[in-house]
């Protein structure tokens, strides 16, 4: 299951729509639903990808319209949105996403929560509903998969340098470049993780714009991620592979 808030909600929707076979269910709190048509998206796509047009592949509304049909893996998509959210009309635009879903026959349940804003208090107030939404669908899926569990085996990489792809920011205000990087084994107090899903937020734009006094280049942006622990360095006791 996948879920997120604001830009993370945008990420949840787009990741789920682009790869439905990997997810049982999807929900979002106050997601950015049509980023190619709002100021946040205009700024982010130009900064990260070089143009707004390149962001079409990462726009939930555009993805649904391009698909032109409902996603059979999702019997419903759950969205909660506060009516007093300062970003509702000019940045989030859930009504556009709902209209697109209706045009292609995709069911979307949107709860407009009276007087709630964009804060984490809003998430806390309704997170139980989202857990129940995903839990119901995960339990149903689990009934068909009880004998097909899979686990991650990191024995081949543990203690060794690994190579992987990364979008690297070389200079402020420059598009990111896809590069192959080497990630060393974790040292004392460090953890190395396999990133499953990642989201870029306004802090990353702040850094890429060159306004972050602590921002160093080159760097790899994206500090909001869902990960699996691959290995840990000496002294780490809070998590384990």
Catalytic positions are 6, 85, 118
Write out the H or E segment, with its range, that includes residue 145.
helix 120-145
N-term to C-term CA, the chain? 21
Torsion-angle region of 240 (φ positive above 0: left; ψ -120 to 50: alpha; else: beta): beta
- The closest of 12, 11, 10 to 134, measured between CA atoms, is 12
Counting every residue, how long is the chain?
241
Q: CA-to-CA distance for 174 and 217, rounded, in angstroms?
A: 11
Q: CA-to-CA distance for 146 and 180, rounded, in angstroms?
A: 37
Q: CA-to-CA distance for 152 and 147, rounded, in angstroms?
A: 16
Structure tokens at 213: 């006094």
| Residue reference for tokens 């709860």 | 111
Q: CA-to-CA distance for 225 and 28, rounded, in angstroms?
A: 16
The C-alpha angle with vertex 223 and arms to 108 and 3, in degrees rounded to 5, equals 15
């Amino acid at each position: 299951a996948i879920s997120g808030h604001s830009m993370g909600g945008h990420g949840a929707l787009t990741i789920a729509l682009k790869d439905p076979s990997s997810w049982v269910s999807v929900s979002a709190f106050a997601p950015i639903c049509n980023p190619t048509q709002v100021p946040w998206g205009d700024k982010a796509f130009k900064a990260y990808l070089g143009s707004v047009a390149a962001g079409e592949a990462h726009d939930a509304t555009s993805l649904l319209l391009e698909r032109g049909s409902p996603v059979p893996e999702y019997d419903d998509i759950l969205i909660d949105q506060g009516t007093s959210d300062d970003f509702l009309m000019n940045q989030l635009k859930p009504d556009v996403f709902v209209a697109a879903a209706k045009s292609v026959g995709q069911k979307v349940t949107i709860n407009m929560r009276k007087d709630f804003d964009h804060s984490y208090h809003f998430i806390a107030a309704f997170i139980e509903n989202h857990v129940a939404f995903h839990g119901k669908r995960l339990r149903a899926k689990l009934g068909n998969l009880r004998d097909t569990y899979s686990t991650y085996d990191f024995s081949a990489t543990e203690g060794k340098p690994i190579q992987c792809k990364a979008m690297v920011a070389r200079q402020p205000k420059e598009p990111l470049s896809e590069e192959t990087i080497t990630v060393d084994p974790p040292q004392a107090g460090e953890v190395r993780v396999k990133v499953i899903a990642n989201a870029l937020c306004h802090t990353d734009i702040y850094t890429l714009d060159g306004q972050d006094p602590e921002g160093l280049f080159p760097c790899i942006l994206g500090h909001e991620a869902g990960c699996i622990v691959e290995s840990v360095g000496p002294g780490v006791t809070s998590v384990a592979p």
